[in-house]
Structure 1
Amino acid sequence: MNVDAPLGDFGDVLFYSALAVYILAMLLHAVEHGLLRRTEPVAAPATAAVPAGVAAGGVDEPGGGAVVPDDPALTDEPPAGTTGAPRAPRPASERFGRMGVALTVLGAALHLAMLVVRGTAAHRPPWGNMYEFVAAVTLVGVVAWLVVLSRRPELRRLGVFVLLPVIVLMFLGGTVLYTQTAPVVPALHSYWLAIHVTAAVISSGILLVAGVASVLYLLRSVHDANGRLAWTARLPAADVLDRVAYRATAVAFPIWTFAVIAGAIWAEAAWGRYWGWDPKETTAFIAWVIYAGYLHARSTAGWRGRKAAAVNVVGFAVMVFNLFFINLVVTGLHSYAGVG
């Protein structure tokens, strides 16, 4: 089937447009983070001073150290009985943060349009090479982050840290890994491309958010222990970051498990065996074992905290190693998924 090259080129324009928008959004979030006041310890919980949303399970839980942000969202609403009272102006940090979120949504829309255009131009699922795979994974990561924000708006200050790896991966995808729109190699002419690779894309994107949360948890815990990393005082409480990492991993792990199983079934259909300890298969299995260990460790009281977060970070590092080193350096049966 012929490839629509001009349409594919338009998809590349959308990709770089999304990257530019993400960079601007990250800068706005960086300004927001810089404008936030530092975390102040709380000697005792004060019911009257805690917004209802926070008391119901927000960032500032007893024992975690309360955050005193410049932008308490709930103060935008006028108190009961004061209908028509003028609304207090939003602080600068909130304005920058909201603009950052708006641009992130715009970037995600451009990002999604790029994949749709790329798939339409190539007449196949738009993740048949490393460039497209990285584009799809980063889109899932951004969408997962926006879902977290919809549930926990107070975590908006983490936007700069989530968008940074997304931007780095997209930059590498658009330069080192770039491939023009083309049909996939014969080995990928299978409906399993839409099953196995889609599951890998979704799980990898969600695990990106989990990995960032665990890294920030470790940094925040260092600050809580000795206060040496002053900028981490603006991060949410360590237990909040721990929950974000755990819940994201708990969502992604079953999908990653399915991706590994689907890959084994595809391998049997393509190569006549379910498992051959190909470098990519081996690394994917190692990542699965690490994440399984993390979930087990996180649910065991003695392994919560830094130890469990460190395991999650190692799992994320293995995923990145699998994405780049195994695909681009090591020769194996999956080498066709590399560049070109």
Structure 2
Amino acid sequence: MNLAAATNESLAQMSNTLIYSSMAVYTLAFLAHIAEWVLGSRSKVGRTAAALTQQAAEAPKVTVQVKGGGTAVLDKPKVVTRSAAGSRDVPDGPGAAGGTVKGDLYGRIAVSLTALAFLIEAGGVLTRALSVQRAPWGNMYEFSITFSTVAVGAYLGFLAARKNVRWMGLALVTTVLLDLGIATTWLYTESDQLVPALHSYWLWIHVSTAIFCGAVFYLGAVATLLYLFRDSYENKLATGGNPGSFARSVLERLPAAASLDKFAYRVNAAIFPLWTFTIIAGAIWAGDAWGRYWGWDAKEVWSFITWVGYAAYLHARATAGWKGRKAAYIALIAFACFLFNYYGVNIFVSSKHSYAGV
């Protein structure tokens, strides 16, 4: 059978056109998010500083005996607690728009453009699959376009559930554009049929769950990174520091560090069992395809290292001395392992999982 003849070139070209079109719309969404942050008024921010100042003013007093029979009232020493422990009473910021009508308008435009780009990109993934009548993730290019589609879909899903995640929009659109730029320039592979080893229903199960897990891990990594910045900002305010104007204008609008930390923990904890299933499904598929369940192939090893990283993060969250910033660092290391498992192993390491070049 001629494999080239099995490819519908018209649908393959349509897929490419849709992917490039989605990049154009994502660019417009990126500009709208920039406008949301820049043009949104800063007059309604400053609640973090006000809350921490009020906490200091309301600190309990300590009465002590002094020499000569009198008493003196002293301020109780201020103790700055980690926001990850949930003990710092700091309100969430008003969002990227700063709580203003103008900023909110640009934010809504940005979300609408992101949703439109998502639909166009999803169309590109679908037509890619239809062009060869198979799952659209047989190489790194297809994995990349599907990954970014799922990540944006998860973000829009949180918004549809009325979760406060619009603060993530700018970072999300920026990285999606980077992902698609790398995919269309360095990772692009012509639409073609799969090698025989990949003709299995496990392709649909194993790779789809890996893509979904990675997309959700990405959202958790963004929240974790922003948590570290926001937590440092709150600590500086609580200890009497004076953050710069840029920090105030940006970090003040984000949710409180405790909220960011909680969001990251919940999404990572929720998706971790599915990542466990992904590794198990891959082992079962390996048994069918290669006659062994585990062979210490580079992809298998780094998938397991990623699993260990997130397991360590979840364990750290349950350990008092490792909550907060220490646990956040572990989460970022675990996501870095996921990225290396995808890019590093596929490009730089010889692996049985390497099929279509990149």
TM-score normalised to structure 2 length = 0.81
Q: Secondary structure at the match of 2:193?
A: coil
Contact 2:220 2:267 in 1 (8 A): yes
Give distance in 2, aligned partners of 1:16 and 1:300: 46
Give the Å deviation of 1:337.
5.1
Residues 260/66 of structure 1: CA separation in 2 closer, same or farther (3 Å cut):
closer
2:216 to 196, 202, 206: 206
Contact 2:147 2:215 in 1 (8 A): yes
> Structure 1: any 5+ residue segments left out of the alignment?
46-59, 74-89
Give distance in 1, aligned partners of 2:155 and 2:271: 13
Given the alignment of the two structures, is residue 42 of structure 1 paired with residue 61 of structure 2, yes or no? no
Give the Å deviation of 1:252.
1.7
Give distance in 1, aligned partners of 2:90 and 2:357: 45
Give distance in 2, aligned partners of 1:288 and 1:337: 26
What does residue 28 of structure 1 align with? 32
What does residue 166 of structure 1 align with? 176
**1:53-202 matched pairs, under 5 angstroms:** 63-68=89-94, 91-152=101-162, 154-202=164-212
Give the Å deviation of 1:232.
2.1
- % identical equivalent positions: 41
2:307 to 288, 291, 296: 288
The residue type equivalent to 1:26 in the other structure is F
Give distance in 2, aligned partners of 1:28 and 1:153: 20
Give distance in 2, aligned partners of 1:98 and 1:306: 32
Give distance in 1, aligned partners of 2:257 and 2:357: 38
Contact 2:18 2:123 in 1 (8 A): yes
Q: How many residues align?
A: 309
Which is higher, the Rg of structure 1 or of structure 2?
2
Give distance in 2, aligned partners of 1:304 and 1:336: 41
Q: Secondary structure at the match of 1:336?
A: coil
What does residue 74 of structure 2 align with? none
The residue type equivalent to 1:39 in the other structure is G
Contact 2:41 2:98 in 1 (8 A): no
Give distance in 1, aligned partners of 2:357 and 2:309: 25
What does residue 244 of structure 1 align with? 263
Give distance in 1, aligned partners of 2:303 and 2:93: 38
1:7 to 6, 11, 14: 11
Give the Å deviation of 1:268.
1.0
Residues 70/264 of structure 1: CA separation in 2 closer, same or farther (3 Å cut):
closer
What does residue 335 of structure 2 align with? 316
Q: Secondary structure at the match of 2:7?
A: coil
Given the alignment of the two structures, is residue 334 of structure 1 paired with residue 353 of structure 2, yes or no? yes
Given the alignment of the two structures, is residue 224 of structure 1 paired with residue 224 of structure 2, yes or no? no
The residue type equivalent to 2:351 in the other structure is G
Give distance in 1, aligned partners of 2:46 and 2:176: 27
Give the Å deviation of 1:72.
8.1
1:263 to 268, 277, 282: 282
- After superposing the two structures, state which structure 1 stretch, 97-106 or 240-249, moved more: 240-249
> Structure 2: any 5+ residue segments left out of the alignment?
56-85, 237-242
Q: Secondary structure at the match of 2:165?
A: helix
Q: Secondary structure at the match of 1:28?
A: helix
Given the alignment of the two structures, is residue 277 of structure 1 paired with residue 285 of structure 2, yes or no? no
Residues 39/18 of structure 1: CA separation in 2 closer, same or farther (3 Å cut):
farther
What does residue 18 of structure 1 align with? 22
Give the Å deviation of 1:67.
2.5
Give distance in 2, aligned partners of 1:138 and 1:280: 21
Residues 152/299 of structure 1: CA separation in 2 closer, same or farther (3 Å cut):
farther
Alignment root-mean-square deviation, CA: 2.2
TM-score normalised to structure 1 length = 0.85
Give the Å deviation of 1:151.
3.1
Runs of 4+ in 1 over 6 A off after TM superposition: none
Q: Secondary structure at the match of 1:144?
A: helix
Give distance in 2, aligned partners of 1:233 and 1:32: 14
Contact 1:39 1:65 in 2 (8 A): no
- After superposition, give the CA deviation of every residue in 1:270-323 in whole Å (9 maximum; x if it has no partner): 111111111111111000111111122223333221111111111111111111
The residue type equivalent to 2:111 in the other structure is V
Residues 70/28 of structure 1: CA separation in 2 closer, same or farther (3 Å cut):
closer
The residue type equivalent to 1:64 in the other structure is V
Give distance in 1, aligned partners of 2:41 and 2:262: 22
Give the Å deviation of 1:62.
6.8
Residues 64/256 of structure 1: CA separation in 2 closer, same or farther (3 Å cut):
same
